[in-house]
Structure 1
Amino acid sequence: MEAPSWVVLALAWLAAAALLSKLFSFRRPHKQNRPSGPKPWPIIGNLNLIGHLPHQSLHKLSQKYGQIMELRFGSFPVVVASSSEMAKQFLKTNDHLFASRPQTAAGKYTTYNYSNITWAPYGPYWRQGRKIYLTELFSSKRLESYEYIRVEERQAFISRLYALSGKPVMLKDHLSRVTLSIISRIVLGEKYFSEYQSGSSIVTLEEFQEMLDELFLLNGVLNIGDWIPWIAFLDLQGYVKRMKVLRDKFDRFHDHVLEKHRVRREAGDFVAKDMVDMLLRLADDPDLQVKLTTDGVKGFTQDLIAGGTDTSATTVEWAMSEILRQPSIAKKATEELDRVIGRDRWVEERHSPTSLHRCNCEGDNEATPCCCPACPSPGSSRLQCSWL
């Protein structure tokens, strides 16, 4: 049976592209002192070596090629640092060179065309957004003003767990719920997803959690079109289609939130009380170096909710897993809580930095994010550099 004409054309196109790729690789000057790494294939590079758990694949490769290695993902060279010493070079010593982000389909379709801080390229907009976060949204005074929200939701969380005593508990589900409840009240100003949900949201808690799960998944997948741009339009894995569906869901929710805030802002007795209020005020500020558009407000809002929900829940889950894995650490933590706090009062935020012992990486502690990072964040070099 003869193959369809489009199949023949596609195979001829791929063969020609592979030949051209090989020819260009011969003409490309070979630079000295490049990191070692596996030999790439034409077109796909080393993508064939990356499995469904990329971090494990990279770890196995690092055991063979060393703490710093060079791979090729499709059309792009990728440098992987696999030790704390090498990571320090990228994230601290030369962080200004690697502060940007690669341009991906996820950044384009799920974050309002790179309008949030997570995927925005390094430049005036990113620097302005970082300043807004530090001085307007996350100042010490601002965070202290939200303590009552954290207390209410934390007590509701503990009450739910107490009611489930003696039963199997999927801790991540409860942690995700309490962090989402806290963050939504701080960012959006309403109890959209709290224990005392007011019913004012156009999506349920379960629907919104599914949206967040899809957001994290699509921002972490290895999308072939990002690495081989000339076949991106084919959307071979179907990820871009899913990104567009998710974008529309978030856009509907954000439009609902912003409209409620705008109506409230028009009232005569309006007082800014949440982070969306502050972002809308900044959007009206003519003195901003880069105008904060409506898409920018939506991108920042989504960043605040997503970034404050899953990473916090994941970090606490890892800490609890370390406690359960090492009973001696659990015993030590319990004894210390009994000694410092007692059993007749709640642990308060003011106790954390001064009264309680800070452990090392072997238990529940402030080092947990270092031992069990919540998520990877790829960096993109802005300038050509050589420092090793």
Structure 2
Amino acid sequence: MVGVMFVASERLRRPKSTVKLPPGPPKLPIIGNLYQNLRQLGGGNELIHITLFKMSQKYGGVMTVWLGMKPTIIVSNHEGAWEVLVNKSSDYASRMVPYMSKYVTANWTTLFSSDHGPYWQSLRKGVQAFAMNPSAISTQTVSQENEAVVMTQTIQEQAMTNGGIIRPLVYIRHNTIRVVGRLCFGPDFNNEGFVIGIDPLIDDVISLSSLAHFSDAFPFIRYIPGLRGSF
């Protein structure tokens, strides 16, 4: 299966933009090309990336698909991906992030959400110099291996006492918080209260993701009275 990569530029959202978009399937007002995706998904026999792959067979390896009111360029061939990721990587280093993420990233000022530029580069240098430098990572190896063993054993024990039914994501998430906590606060970090306390906040962030998809596809819902409270 050919990999599909989404490349969207902020300038594509400007109504007065003179950028000529690549060809793509015909779209409907407001919902764009979602009717093709929903029609396929509604049958329960095809995933969205397969739908996009089939579209690319007709419209080319670089095509425009409208996800609601948002134009998205789909690059699904080797040559196009190489052009974007290698030859012109600096031009495409920035990326659009979900609108709802502004509320959990201090207005898009974190490393993964800020725009490519001097500010992002300073953040990256700081992370590389401290939390993610080879020395800091190497000190985590033994702890990570031990915690992986303990986590696996705990999951097995829970499965045995609960008819084989478990929720592995909870254990994996707690383990991830411990790893990130040590990277942020030092190798001696060991605060289960912090791990348990921050877990519900991560759940809240995950729960925002579904609303984020709608707010990006249909920006006008941000102003609907019944939904404004969520934003």
* Per-residue deviation, 1:54: 4.7
* Per-residue deviation, 1:160: 1.4
How many residue pairs get aligned? The number is 204
Match of 1:89 in 2: 83
Match of 1:234 in 2: 224
Q: Find the aligned partners of 1:172 and 1:164 in 2 and give their Cα distance.
A: 13
CA RMSD of aligned residues (A): 3.6
* Residues 1:48 and 2:31 aligned together: no
2:139 alignment partner, one of 119, 124, 145: 145
Q: Find the aligned partners of 1:201 and 1:142 in 2 and give their Cα distance.
A: 20
* Per-residue deviation, 1:141: 1.0
Q: Find the aligned partners of 1:159 and 1:115 in 2 and give their Cα distance.
A: 39
Q: Find the aligned partners of 1:200 and 1:175 in 2 and give their Cα distance.
A: 16
Match of 1:304 in 2: none
Residue pair 1:70, 1:78 contacting (<8 A) in 2 also: yes
2:115 alignment partner, one of 111, 118, 121: 121
Q: Find the aligned partners of 2:165 and 2:220 in 1 and give their Cα distance.
A: 47
Residue pair 2:53, 2:76 contacting (<8 A) in 1 also: yes
Secondary structure of the corresponding residue to residue 38 of structure 1:
coil
Match of 1:191 in 2: 190
Length-normalised TM-score, structure 2: 0.68
Q: Which amino acid is 2:29 matched to?
A: P
* Residues 1:168 and 2:168 aligned together: no
Q: Find the aligned partners of 2:220 and 2:201 in 1 and give their Cα distance.
A: 34
* Per-residue deviation, 1:142: 1.5
* Per-residue deviation, 1:135: 2.6
The C-alpha deviation readout for 1:63-93, integer Å capped at 9, x for no partner, is 4433221123455432101234432322222
Q: Find the aligned partners of 1:214 and 1:77 in 2 and give their Cα distance.
A: 25
Q: Once the two structures are aligned, what percentage of the paired residues are identical?
A: 24
Q: Which amino acid is 2:224 matched to?
A: L
Secondary structure of the corresponding residue to residue 213 of structure 2:
coil
Distance 1:113 1:144, change over 3 A: same
Match of 1:106 in 2: 100
Residue pair 1:67, 1:83 contacting (<8 A) in 2 also: yes
* Per-residue deviation, 1:120: 1.0
1:214 alignment partner, one of 189, 196, 207: 207
Match of 2:12 in 1: none
Q: Which amino acid is 1:156 matched to?
A: V
* Per-residue deviation, 1:105: 1.8
Which entry has the higher C-alpha Rg, 1 or 2?
1
Distance 1:29 1:210, change over 3 A: closer
The C-alpha deviation readout for 1:297-337, integer Å capped at 9, x for no partner, is xxxxxxxxxxxxxxxxxxxxxxxxxxxxxxxxxxxxxxxxx
The C-alpha deviation readout for 1:360-383, integer Å capped at 9, x for no partner, is xxxxxxxxxxxxxxxxxxxxxxxx
1:59 alignment partner, one of 32, 53, 60: 53
Question: Which consecutive residues of structure 1, in runs of 5 or more, have no partner in the other structure?
Answer: 1-24, 245-388
Residue pair 1:226, 1:232 contacting (<8 A) in 2 also: no
Distance 1:235 1:100, change over 3 A: farther
Q: Find the aligned partners of 1:175 and 1:210 in 2 and give their Cα distance.
A: 13
